[in-house]
Amino acid sequence: MSVDKTSRFLPMPVTAISGTVSNLHNELLEYVNPEKPTHDHSSVYYQRFFISQFTLDGQTIEAKFSTPMTIQDGDVMTVSGYAKGNTFQVLAYTNQTQNISHHENWIVLCIGALFFLAVAIGLLNSELVIEGALVPKLFLFGFTLVAIYMGYRALLIREALKLLQQ
């Protein structure tokens, strides 16, 4: 395992690690919308997460993406992400063996964060919040937290991409 680069721009350091893949294990988590009609077998009602767990030269790696990783045992990879406990969480990766790179879309996260922030600002100017009603204040707080989380996640992914491009 070789730690290539570390970025300390954000409170959670984003690191890039290179190595050879071994002990690959792929999973599929699938969530079903409870309001889905029982006779409808359309995939629109499913939320899928593809989880890949492997070791990269001794370091335990876990990657959760909306599409399956293009990876096999023995591939030489560089992954970028952060440590969470004893596991390294992948935000972006480059597979040098198969010449493939992948990451979640940070631009969509930014747009989502701006949307939730706009809703929160709209709530802030509502008469119910000005009058001191509790429920609109809770919604205001919730929308603001979601906007902050989405913006932070987008910054983490963007920083991970910068490390892979260096």
Where are the chain's structural domains? 2-103, 104-166
pLDDT above 90 for 33: no
- pTM of the predicted model as reported, rounded to 2 decimal places: 0.78
CATH of domain 2-103: 2.40.50
Query: 76: which 2 tokens?
Result: 């030489």
Residues 6+ away with beta carbon under 8 Å from 84:
none
Query: 112: which 2 tokens?
Result: 């989502």
Query: Tell me: the pLDDT tens digits for 42-92?
Result: 656 667 788 999 999 888 999 998 888 889 999 999 999 988 888 999 999
- Provide the pLDDT for residue 126: 79
Query: Tell me: the pLDDT tens digits for 136-159?
Result: 788 888 999 999 999 999 999 999
Confidence of residue 39 (pLDDT cuts 50, 70, 90): low
